[in-house]
Amino acid sequence: MKILNFSEISKSHFPEGSVVTLGNFDGIHIGHDALIQKLKEVSHDLSIPGILVTYYPNPGLVLGKSSGFQYIYSEDQKLDILESKGIEYLLKIPFTLEFAHMPALEFLNDILINKLNAHHIIIGFNHCFGRDREGDYNFLLKNKGISSYEVSKIDQILLEKNEKISSSYVRSLIQSGQIERANQILSRNFSIRSKVQTGFRKGRELGFPTINQEIHPFQILPADGVYLTKTKIDTTFYPSLTNIGNRPTFDGVKRSLETHILNFRADLYDREVEVYYLKRLRDEQKFASVSELVAQLQRDKTQAESFFLNPALHSGDSLDGDKNE
């Protein structure tokens, strides 16, 4: 995947034209997959480059419309996922307040036509661009005469019980601990990539050493509790258990992210790891004694070992790699 420089790109880079899709692509769920698949199909049929246009940082952060906004994936993760899906060209537009006030017609002329030489534009049913969200599918249809481009719309995907696919819906699933459902809509296992930092070392004292991961203030976290996870270190995946919460047995007040990697012994401090969330095991609990906590941790570990030994329980996943990487 080639990342285009917004300030340097011009129509001359794509003399034969291009196919363009645009959006926030936050979470990169199955609705986004439909846009990406259409982009690749049209690009192949027309034998011209396919370009995915997105924005950085997320417009919700810049505009302040989303108080407490949290991203599903970090920018690095987002780039890796898009590359794994076969995106040929990526254009990240720097999103500023000034850019937010650009009229939709100027966006169409200056960026989609003059910079990217778009011959075919693919847009989601609810994506808007330009000042006052003026630019949408109908706007693109109305202005086709400017450059004789074609335009396609990807309709909303509805699941059972009329579930409407959106990044906001995925966030709500993650925050409520419905991780398996979130994974289905993401078409991959939700993961958090972070650096290992010095922790409380209580787990080591109890015989269950953990890695304590940094929490970015804008990173969404699953609901407090214990999760079956797999942890990626370099290119290798390891079965693991992850606890999210404030360690109530020890009267903790600060939320932490701690992962016990099964049958693993190595110093990972300051190393980057990626933890993939597979299944919620239980709520976080406050135990009357440390011995009760240790007994529960052993039960958790036994359940995790059974889970990872039985492929039928985590069909589609592998400790040798993520199903969608």
Question: What is the residue extent of each domain of the chain?
Answer: 2-160, 189-311
Partner residues linked to 244 by β-bridges: 225, 257
Contact assessment for residue 268 and residue 233, using Cβ atoms and an 8 Å cutoff:
yes
Tokens matching residue 302: 């036994």
- Strand locations in 206-245, DSSP E? 211-213, 225-233, 236-245
Percent of the chain with pLDDT over 90: 73
pLDDT at residue 217, as a whole number? 87
Instruction: Go through the chain and tell me how many residues it has.
Output: 325
Q: Give the DSSP letter of residue 26.
A: S
Tokens matching residue 82: 């898009």
Which CATH class name applies to 2-160? alpha beta
**pLDDT band of 286, cuts 50, 70, 90:** confident
pLDDT at residue 314, as a whole number? 64
β-strands 191-197, 211-213: how paired?
antiparallel
Q: What is the mean pLDDT of residues 223-236?
A: 96
Nearest Cα to Cα of residue 148 among 118, 127, 122, 128: 118
Q: Tell me the pLDDT of the chain averaged across its residues.
A: 91
Least confident of 20-29, 154-163, 302-311, 314-323: 314-323
pLDDT at residue 65, as a whole number? 63
pLDDT digits (tens, 9 = 90+) for 107-120: 999 999 999 999 99
pLDDT at residue 311, as a whole number? 72
pLDDT digits (tens, 9 = 90+) for 185-213: 999 999 999 999 986 666 666 778 899 99
Q: What is the mean pLDDT of residues 173-185?
A: 97
The fold for domain 189-311 equals: Elongation Factor Tu (Ef-tu); domain 3 (2.40.30)
Partner residues linked to 240 by β-bridges: 229, 261
Q: What is the mean pLDDT of residues 13-24?
A: 96
